[in-house]
Structure 1
Amino acid sequence: MKKTVTKLADGRALVYYDSRDDVVRDAPDHRPLDPISTTSEIRHDALLGDAVAIASHRQGRTYHPPADECPLCPSRDGRLSEIPDEDYDVAVFENRFPSLAGDAGRCEVICFSSDHDASFADLTEEQAGLVLAAWTDRTAELAELPEVEQVFPFENRGAEIGVTLGHPHGQIYAYPFVTPRSALMLRNAAAHRAETGRNLFDDILARETAPDGHGDVDGDGGGDSGGRVVLAGEHWVAFVPYAAHWPYEVHLYPRRRVADLRGLDEAARTEFPQIYLELLKRFDRIFGEGEPLTPYIAAWHQAPFRAAGREEFALHLELFTIRRTSGKLKFLAGSESGMSVFINDVPPEAAAERLREVASK
């Protein structure tokens, strides 16, 4: 992988990641851009303990532009974009409309391909491996910023999710605090260690991969019905969790526990594109032929950098869709939005079976 660091016209960082070492990236950004002015602010909810980002400048962000005005396509034929070069493999730049900025963190955009009409599932294994390398490099670099406590790479796909740019891309948030979701995982992992002397994430993975498909991680005295493994390799396992929140939700774990992307060994990095690309292709087949591409969120859960209990955390990717059946979405209504109690219409075992049925031939 070759990494080239440069600047956009308004001073934001732009990083190219190329699979070939002989590629030269020196095209300047000729756009007459004003310096970025943001109003990002972190406020704390005293009642719930949550952190909320207030970012009023995002009201003016680019919204569903036509394909020939896409800001994530390369700059070609006199049309200037966020990517000054006329082509690229993977590109990462600071978001022009960030949710987090300055002391309140940092937001980056990662473009998976220069092909506007592609999706992540269309990438080759080499291209997907390059994206993984970019995610890892961004995690390592952002970890060095004193204000950053946690790095969250993720992809939103589909208008139903709220995506406003159709180009294949994701985002990387660098939070100046430990997110509530991660803090809760750490507390539960600490409680499990105190009660059992074992690691919670290891026990979950052992339950899902047990030959008899049974285990009792949650301590309720009953066996947790298995059959939820969707895809398994030598170094990665994908399964529908026992208490899945979403209609179709898959968690992807490396078999060897590591705290974040930096800890993956070469064998896990090599196998990841094979497993992940197949998983994404299955998601697009869930609802049958002729259906629109499945909207999804893909989220990397990484350990906060300085939190107590970091060594207990396990890197994993969570992939889920808000579509519950053909033409119908799962809305977060009263119970989910009001009380954070999810109600899932699709049994996890049925979801796993469906995802096995649609395996590539």
Structure 2
Amino acid sequence: MADPIPSPTALYAADFTKPDGRALTLYGLRPVRVTAAIPSPSPEPVDARPVLRWHPLRGEWVMYAAHRLNRTFLPPPEYNPLAPTTDPEHPTELPTGEYDIAVFDNRFPSLSLGAPDPEGGPAQTRAGVGACEVVVFSQDARGRLADLSEAQLDLLLSVWADRTTRLGATGRIQSVLCFENRGVEVGVTLHHPHGQIYAYDHLPPVQARMLAQAEAYHAEHGRPWLADFVAQERESRERVVLDGGAALSVVPPFARYSFETWIVPVRPVSLLADLTAPERAAFARVLKDTLLRLDGLFGVRMPYLLTVHQAPLDGPHPAFPLHIELYPYLRAPGRMKYLAGTEQGAGEFANDKFPETAAAELRAVNPDAGAAL
């Protein structure tokens, strides 16, 4: 077993190389220990040749990765590639052992640090340079992110911070997005609780616009937008779901989804690595509470998209607001929120519930109701 690596958040971690050459890092609340060989579903690497093409009217890159057509799709439980290997004849992605969270290079990446230059093509075409990682939240295939203890969620925040730091250290990554898709309604292809990390060699359009708006606000008002946002929401109380001291959950006044919820630090910071240990613990508590409330809202496991927004890695950006955005895909019991004409065609959302109403409904949910699901 590899020796634990040093980390600014004092987590335990051990690095390994899979038989097909991909990297694997195991993280734990206690020292990591593996009890079998490091596995891989195949000893041969996937020939990944991702390509980016420039969209001249939207001003953004589009990713193409034809090899992803062959990725695993909703396998039966006995063929779960994210569970620890129990039969060496049918290896999965993970070894047996003592650890809490696993991160490995995606076997079917949309971006790759080793992407070769394409042989030309229409539009402005270049190699799909970046990185794609899978983050397995737990060894329990039946669980969910909300089932993690507060200590384990604190660890996950540290893992996301560590991955961001490591990817930035390559010198080739400008932006890192940690996210979780949950539910077949959102397009999940593996039920085992997990998320992903996409690391880009450029600044994606959402983060670019967020940075520009935040820096313009800071230049005009002389302070970060997040500071004023927290003060405003704490004063009104209408949209705050839980005030966790160093972190808040809030349905923002401009929410695009009916029960869209943000988790924000009270002290404005730009990266997860900037949080102090008490702030990270508060973030974990509020995140767990939010996930349980969303599940308890309609008595079903809410399909959602969770995204972690951090500053670009090309230098300090103190104006950028670190925060987590949660987009629940149910707007009412049994009713999905679909992105239709105005959302897809114009980029302007239509929401049929005011944020103040949504926040009141979420405050009324007992988190224990979500825990029982």
TM, length-normalised to structure 1: 0.91
Letter aligned with residue 179 of structure 2: F
Q: Deviations over 1:312-346 (max 9, x none)?
A: 10110001211111111111111000000100011
Distance in 1 (CA, whole Å) between partners of 2:217 and 2:45 is: 49
Distance in 2 (CA, whole Å) between partners of 1:261 and 1:31 is: 32
Please state whether the residue corresponding to 1:203 is helix, strand or coil: helix
Please state whether the residue corresponding to 2:318 is helix, strand or coil: helix
State which of 215, 222, 243 in structure 2 corresponds to 1:232.
243
1:67 is displaced (CA, Å) by 0.8
State which of 95, 112, 130 in structure 1 corresponds to 2:106.
95
1:271 aligns with 2:282: yes
Give the match for residue 218 of structure 1: none
Q: Map 1:1-361 to 2 at 5 A.
A: 1-21=11-31, 23-24=33-34, 27-29=37-39, 32-78=42-88, 79-85=90-96, 88-102=99-113, 104-210=129-235, 213=236, 227-287=238-298, 289=299, 292-306=300-314, 310-360=317-367
1:147 is displaced (CA, Å) by 1.4
Please identify, of 64-73 and 263-272, the stretch whose mean Cα deviation from structure 2 is larger.
263-272
Q: Contact between 1:9 and 1:31, CA under 8 Å: does it hold in 2?
A: no
Distance in 2 (CA, whole Å) between partners of 1:146 and 1:94 is: 18
| RMSD of aligned Cα (Å) | 1.7
1:40 is displaced (CA, Å) by 0.8
TM, length-normalised to structure 2: 0.88
Distance in 1 (CA, whole Å) between partners of 2:187 and 2:294 is: 18
> Where does structure 1 lack aligned partners over 5 or more consecutive residues?
214-225
Identity of aligned residues (%): 41
Please identify, of 26-35 and 350-359, the stretch whose mean Cα deviation from structure 2 is larger.
26-35
Structure 1's 30 and 65: CA in aligned 2 closer, same or farther, altered over 3 A? closer
1:4 is displaced (CA, Å) by 0.7
Q: Contact between 1:284 and 1:294, CA under 8 Å: does it hold in 2?
A: yes
Distance in 2 (CA, whole Å) between partners of 1:115 and 1:97 is: 23
Letter aligned with residue 352 of structure 2: D
Letter aligned with residue 303 of structure 1: A
Distance in 2 (CA, whole Å) between partners of 1:3 and 1:112 is: 14
Structure 1's 17 and 346: CA in aligned 2 closer, same or farther, altered over 3 A? same
Distance in 2 (CA, whole Å) between partners of 1:27 and 1:88 is: 15
Q: Deviations over 1:130-178 (max 9, x none)?
A: 2122111111111111210011111110000000000000001111111
Please identify, of 103-112 and 78-87, the stretch whose mean Cα deviation from structure 2 is larger.
78-87
Please identify, of 74-83 and 231-240, the stretch whose mean Cα deviation from structure 2 is larger.
74-83
Structure 1's 144 and 50: CA in aligned 2 closer, same or farther, altered over 3 A? same
Q: Contact between 2:174 and 2:312, CA under 8 Å: does it hold in 1?
A: yes
Letter aligned with residue 137 of structure 1: D
Give the match for residue 6 of structure 2: none
1:30 is displaced (CA, Å) by 6.6
Q: Deviations over 1:213-264 (max 9, x none)?
A: 1xxxxxxxxxxxx600011111101101111011110111111111111101
Distance in 2 (CA, whole Å) between partners of 1:259 and 1:119 is: 27
Letter aligned with residue 245 of structure 1: R
Q: Deviations over 1:63-121 (max 9, x none)?
A: 00001101000001443101133564110000001111125100000000000000011
Q: Deviations over 1:255-286 (max 9, x none)?
A: 11111111010111222222111110000011
> Where does structure 2 lack aligned partners over 5 or more consecutive residues?
1-10, 116-128, 369-373
Distance in 1 (CA, whole Å) between partners of 2:257 and 2:32 is: 44
Give the match for residue 122 of structure 2: none
Distance in 2 (CA, whole Å) between partners of 1:208 and 1:262 is: 25
Please state whether the residue corresponding to 1:20 is helix, strand or coil: coil
Distance in 1 (CA, whole Å) between partners of 2:205 and 2:73 is: 29
Distance in 2 (CA, whole Å) between partners of 1:360 and 1:30 is: 38
Q: Contact between 1:241 and 1:348, CA under 8 Å: does it hold in 2?
A: yes
Structure 1's 200 and 32: CA in aligned 2 closer, same or farther, altered over 3 A? closer
Distance in 1 (CA, whole Å) between partners of 2:297 and 2:92 is: 35
Q: Contact between 2:145 and 2:193, CA under 8 Å: does it hold in 1?
A: yes
Q: Contact between 1:246 and 1:321, CA under 8 Å: does it hold in 2?
A: yes
Distance in 1 (CA, whole Å) between partners of 2:33 and 2:187 is: 35
